[in-house]
Chain A
Amino acid sequence: MEQLYARDVYGQTLIELGKKDGRVVVLDADLSGSTRTCLFAKEFPGRFFNFGVAEQNMMATAAGLASCGKIVFASTFAMFATARALDQVRNTICYNNFDVKIVATHAGITVGEDGASHQAIEDINFLRAIPNMKIIVPCDGPETKSAVLCAYQTPGPFYIRLGRSKIPTVEGKGDFVFGEGRVLVEGRDIAIISCGLIVQEALLACRSLKDKGISASVVNIHTIKPIDQNLLIDLAKRHKAVLVCEEHQVTGGLYSAVCEVLSNKFPVKVGRIGIEDRFGQSGKPTELIDLYGLSSRFIVEKAQGLLQE
Chain B
Amino acid sequence: MEKKIKSLKNKANEIRKLIIKMLACAGSGHPGGSLSSSDIIATLYFEIMRYDVKNPHWPDRDRFHLSKGHCCPALYAALSLSGYFPSEELWRLRKCGALLQGHPDRNTPGIEVASGSLGQGLSVACGMSLAGRIDKKDYRVYCLLGDGECQEGNVWEAAMAAAHYKLDNLCAIVDYNHFQIDGRTDAVMSLEPLVNKWEAFGWHVVQCDGHNIEELLYAFAEAKKIKAKPTVIIAQTVKGKGVSFMEHVADFHGRAPTEKEREIALRELEEIDKTDEARQE
Contacts and interface: CB of A to CB of B under 8 A. Distances in A.
B114 A70 contact: no
A56 B116 CA distance: 15
Contacts of A52: 160-161, 164
Interface string B113-131: 1111101110111111111
Contacts of B131: 25, 64-65, 67-70
Nearest to B103: A91
Contacts of A60: 120-121, 123-124, 127, 154, 158
Q: Summarize B's interface: helix, strand, loop or mixed.
A: helix
A92 interface: yes
B134 interface: yes
B197 interface: no
A59 B127 CA distance: 10
B123 A56 contact: yes
Given A63-B127, A92-B113, A68 B120 contact: no
B170 to A, nearest CB: 10
Contacts of B164: 52
Contacts of B154: 56-57, 60, 88
Given A56-B153, A88-B123, A61 B130 contact: yes
A51 interface: yes
A297 interface: no
B135 interface: yes
Given A49-B165, A88-B120, A92-B113, A64 B132 contact: no
B162 to A, nearest CB: 10
A174 interface: no
Given A87-B120, A96-B106, A67 B158 contact: no
Contacts of A68: 63, 127-128, 131-132, 135
A206 interface: no
Contacts of A91: 114, 116-117, 120
Contact of B114 (A25, A54, A57, A92): A92
A57 B158 contact: yes
A54 B160 contact: yes
A46 B134 contact: yes
Interface in A53-112: 54, 56-70, 87-88, 91-92, 95-97
Contacts of B123: 56-61, 63-64, 88, 92
Interface in B126-163: 126-132, 134-135, 153-154, 157-158, 160-161
B127 A61 contact: yes
A56 to B, nearest CB: 5
Interface residues of B, number: 33
Interface string A26-69: 00000000000000000000110101101011111111111111
Interface of B: 59, 63, 65, 106, 112-117, 119-121, 123-132, 134-135, 153-154, 157-158, 160-161, 164-165
Nearest to A69: B131
Nearest to B112: A67
Contacts of B112: 67
Given A63-B123, A67-B131, A68-B131, 7 more contacts: A52-B164, A56-B123, A64-B65, A64-B129, A70-B134, A92-B114, A95-B106
A105 B252 CA distance: 46
Chain A contact-residue range equals 20 to 34
Nearest to A68: B131
Contacts of B128: 64-65, 67-68
Contacts of B129: 64
A63 B113 contact: yes
A300 B30 CA distance: 60
Given A25-B134, A70-B134, A88-B154, A57 B124 contact: no
Contacts of A69: 59, 131
Contacts of A49: 130, 165
A65 B133 CA distance: 11
Nearest to B165: A49
A2 B126 CA distance: 42
Contacts of A92: 113-115, 117, 120, 123-124
B127 A66 contact: yes
Contacts of B59: 69
Nearest to B154: A56
Contacts of A63: 113, 120, 123-124, 127
Nearest to A53: B157
Contacts of B121: 60
B103 to A, nearest CB: 9
Nearest to B126: A61
Contacts of B158: 57, 60-61
Given A51-B161, A54-B160, A88-B154, A65 B116 contact: no
Contact of A54 (B120, B125, B157): B157
Interface in A226-278: none
Given A49-B130, A49-B165, A54-B161, A96 B153 contact: no
- Top-10 shortest CB links A-B: A64-B127, A60-B123, A68-B131, A57-B157, A64-B124, A54-B157, A65-B127, A60-B120, A61-B127, A91-B117
B66 to A, nearest CB: 13
Contact of B127 (A46, A62, A95): A62
Contacts of B153: 56
Contacts of B113: 63-64, 67, 92, 96
